[in-house]
Amino acid sequence: MGPGPGPEHIRRWESGALAHAVSDPFGQGPVPWLRGSETYFDDTGQVVPWYVDPAVPASAQGSPRIPGRIPGPRPASGAGGPRSADDVRRQIKGFVSTGAVAPGGAVDFHVTVDPPQEFSVDVYRIGHYDGDGAAKITTSPRLSGIVQPPPLTADRTVSCHHWWLSWRLQVPSYWNVGAYVAVLTTADGYRSHVPFTVRDRHPADLLLLLPDITWQAYNLYPEDGRTGASLYHAWDEEGRLLGEADAATTVSFDRPYAGAGLPLHVGHAYDFIRWAERYGYDLAYADARDLHAGHVDPTRYRGLVFPGHDEYWSTTMRRTVELARDSGTSLVFLSANSLYWQVELGPSPSGVPSRLLTCRKRKGPGRPVLWREIGRAEQQLVGIQYAGRVPEPHPLIVRNADHWLWEATGAGEGEGIEGLVAGEADRYFPRTPLPRHEDRILLAHSPYRDGEGVLRHQETSLYRAPSGALVFASGTFAWSPALDRPGHVDSRVQRATANLLDRICKRD
């Protein structure tokens, strides 16, 4: 690794994943709630996360005033506890070169450790676990860590596919399917994370689809002020964060996630998982890339659950989900802005399929990549579609309170559920075609102000397809956090979600 940025840049970026506001849920508290847009910019073009400390007056700090001070890594437990690794010094960072695996399969970890030293891997499974949120499943032996080569870059695409294999985890046949997180810890106490999924082909009522394609689209690794790029951002030579016009058009799965090693919005999926497993729903698990590659047959399930922000879909994913709906499989979209960009998945330089994600957006010649611009608006599947950002949380205003979804929730007509319209919002577009349906209803109509102060509205939708499948769309980022995130739990949302899933699982 060549000379790094100056001390000021290191200080600004060392807390990791600043543009995405993701932190460590194991020992340092839950993934923080993201208010408003993913990034804020100061007048120099530097990104400032929503959780920056208040500016310290210049007179107090003896230097020119800066818009915000980035907090440094915090110990997980006491002064001598683990510290978060960062993308500048790369104390420890890693990724898996395999997608979701079945019990009996293997997960290949590629890890860099600087300075070279021993490290260990603790593997957790996400679930309720009496309120703990995760349970440790296994621990690796002490492993020898090396400094892997710097990431390779080509046309803003960053890849670490040339890193040596560090550890192969053989998944025992008795492991439960689910969402897992590997916690990497060096001998001197630095830590980062690597998420992965264990799936199998056994039948279940509900198939949970983790949005790994959207996670990778937002991944800015390495978030070092120089090299990293996502489909949203890249850096210029001065360490300023650039926008979409200068971002990558192709990103690689062969690299760690920025900062703490956990994707943007990963907490939304974990919120749903904890709640659903607490109440005993029969879940199978898969990644979005499994849907793309045909590794799962969604028609075998009573419902597909999309628990978090799921913005990037390939043509194959959409076709497969449409066929599932038309075969009677219900769809549950618990976030907003689903199915927005059309993407392509390609092989890595070594030929491993589905390791490169491409979305040209509005750059250069070629066909449009917004689904709504090619006559296949997301509303034609989801029932509503993306309307815009919600800068500050607003109440979700209940509509049609006598509908079975709101039964036993205590929610009355026109009642507001505080803070439930947040992040981004969907609504019904009257001039956009609807999907074929037997019946359709809007279950919320919620006014909010956008970033320009213009009055907009959010809606929550439910329709029944001719096959009998139910298609629910919450129309807000805040639905999953209301199920099981401390400080955001709402019993009305919990009950409404249970009403929906119970009806799907019983095929009523």
* pLDDT score recorded for residue 3: 38
Handedness of CA 6, 9, 15, 16 (dihedral sign): negative
**Residues 36 and 50: beta-carbon distance below 8 Å:** yes
Q: What is the CATH number of the domain that holds 37?
A: 2.60.40.1930
Residue 14 lies in a domain: yes
Q: Which of 225, 252, 279 is the endpoint of a domain?
A: 252
Domain enclosing residue 392, as ranges:
297-340+378-506
Whether residue 327 sits in one domain with residue 198: no
Tokens of 89: 């010094």
Handedness of CA 429, 431, 436, 438 (dihedral sign): positive
Whether residue 321 sits in one domain with residue 223: no
Residue 369 lies in a domain: no
Looking at the structure of the chain, the number of domains it has is 2
Q: What is the mean pLDDT of each run of 10 residues along the chain (508 residues)?
A: 38 36 35 32 42 34 32 38 82 95 96 97 90 88 97 94 97 95 92 93 94 95 90 87 89 93 88 94 97 94 96 97 98 97 92 92 73 95 96 95 98 96 95 97 97 95 98 96 88 98 88
Residue 47 lies in a domain: yes
Residue 304 lies in a domain: yes
Whether residue 311 sits in one domain with residue 164: no
pLDDT digits (tens, 9 = 90+) for 240-263: 888 888 999 999 999 999 988 888
Tokens of 135: 């349970």
Whether residue 146 sits in one domain with residue 43: yes
The one-letter amino acid at 101: V
Burial of 216 (0-12, 13-18, 19+ CB in 10 A): buried
Nearest-angstrom CA–CA distance, 206 and 143: 37
pLDDT digits (tens, 9 = 90+) for 370-418: 999 999 999 999 999 999 999 899 999 999 999 999 999 999 999 999 9
Nearest-angstrom CA–CA distance, 13 and 260: 12
Contacts 24+ apart (CB under 8 A), 482-489: 482/417, 482/420, 483/271, 483/272, 483/274, 483/275, 484/128, 484/271, 484/272, 484/274, 484/275, 484/278, 485/30, 485/33, 485/267, 485/271, 486/30, 487/33, 488/33, 488/419
Nearest-angstrom CA–CA distance, 373 and 359: 14
Residue 289 lies in a domain: no
Q: How far is CA 477 from the centre of its chain?
A: 11
Q: Which of 231, 252, 273 is the endpoint of a domain?
A: 252
Whether residue 330 sits in one domain with residue 236: no
Strand 470-473 and strand 157-159: the pairing is unpaired
Whether residue 309 sits in one domain with residue 231: no
Q: Is the pTM of this model over 0.75?
A: yes
Tokens of 75: 């110990």
Which stretches of 264-343 are DSSP H helices?
Answer: 266-278, 288-293, 315-326
Whether residue 306 sits in one domain with residue 188: no
* pLDDT score recorded for residue 361: 85
Q: Which residue has the tokens 């899933």?
A: 501
Tokens of 382: 């989801």
Widest Cα–Cα separation across the chain: 69
